[in-house]
C-alpha cells in the first residue's frame, strides 16, 4: 500500500495530477483509510495504462470508459481488445508522421550545415527542389511526401 506522495515519486506524476485522475474516475477501486487514499499495485499498473492510452491520444473520458469496461468483467473483453487494436493503428500513424517530421529536420540540419560552409544559400537555392545530392534528395522527398 502506498500514499499518494509515494505514487507521485514512483510515477513522476504530480500529486495534483493523481488526485485529478482519481476525481475523473480513473482509479475505480482505489481504497481509503479514513479520508486518505491508499494506492496499491493495481493503481500503479493503472497509471501505466493511463499514460499509454494518453500517449495514444485518448481523452480522459475514454480512458474512464475503458476502466468501466474492466469493472464490467469478461463480457467486455472484445470491446477492450478493439480499443487497443484501434489505438495501435493511431500510434502507427503517429510514428509514421514523426518519421516524416524527422526527415524534414534532418534535411534542415544538412541545409544549414551547407549554408554555414558556403556563407550563403545561393547554391542551395539552385539545388532545390530536385537537384540535391542523392541521399539528401531522398530525405527531402520523404519530408515533402
Partner DNA sequence: ATACAACCTAAAGCTAACTTTAAGTCAACG
Partner DNA sequence: CGTTGACTTAAAGTTAGCTTTAGGTTGTAT
Residues that bind its own copies (CB under 8 A): 48-49, 52, 55-56, 74, 77-78, 80-81, 84-85, 87-88, 91-92, 94-95, 97-99, 101-102, 104-106, 108-109, 112-113, 115-116, 119-121, 143-144
Instruction: Please state, in angstroms and as integers, the Cα–Cα distance from residue 130 to each residue in 49, 142, 145, following that order.
Output: 45, 12, 13
What is the number of other CB atoms lying within 10 angstroms of the CB of residue 143?
17
For residues 37 and 28, the answer to whether their CB atoms sit within 8 Å is no
Q: Which is nearer to DNA, 16 or 42 (CB)?
A: 16
Q: In the complex with its own copies, which residue's Cβ is closer, 15 or 109?
A: 109
Three-state secondary structure along 44-88? HHHHHHHHHHHHCCCCHHHHHHHHHHHHHHHHHHHHHHHHHHHHH
| 40: contact with DNA by CB under 7 A | no
Rounded distance between C-alpha atoms, residue 44 and residue 39, angstroms: 8
Our finding on whether 65 is near DNA (CB under 7 A) is no
Instruction: Select the span of 9-17, 80-88, 89-97, 99-107 touching DNA (CB under 7 A).
Output: 9-17
Interacting residues with DNA (CB under 7 A): 3-6, 14-17, 19-20, 23, 34-37, 54, 59-61
Amino acid at each position: 500500500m502506498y500514499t499518494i506522495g509515494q505514487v507521485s515519486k514512483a510515477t513522476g506524476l504530480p500529486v495534483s495530477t493523481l488526485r485529478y485522475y482519481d476525481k475523473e474516475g480513473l482509479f475505480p477501486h482505489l481504497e481509503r483509510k479514513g479520508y486518505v487514499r491508499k494506492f496499491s499495485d493495481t493503481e500503479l499498473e493503472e497509471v501505466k495504462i493511463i499514460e499509454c492510452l494518453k500517449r495514444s491520444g485518448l481523452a480522459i473520458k475514454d480512458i474512464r470508459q475503458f476502466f468501466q469496461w474492466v469493472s464490467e468483467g469478461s463480457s467486455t473483453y472484445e470491446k477492450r481488445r478493439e480499443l487497443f487494436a484501434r489505438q495501435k493503428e493511431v500510434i502507427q500513424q503517429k510514428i509514421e508522421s514523426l518519421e516524416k517530421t524527422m526527415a524534414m529536420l534532418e534535411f534542415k540540419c544538412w541545409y544549414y550545415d551547407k549554408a554555414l560552409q558556403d556563407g550563403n544559400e545561393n547554391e542551395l537555392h539552385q539545388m532545390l527542389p530536385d537537384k540535391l545530392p542523392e541521399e539528401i534528395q531522398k530525405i527531402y522527398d520523404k519530408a515533402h511526401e
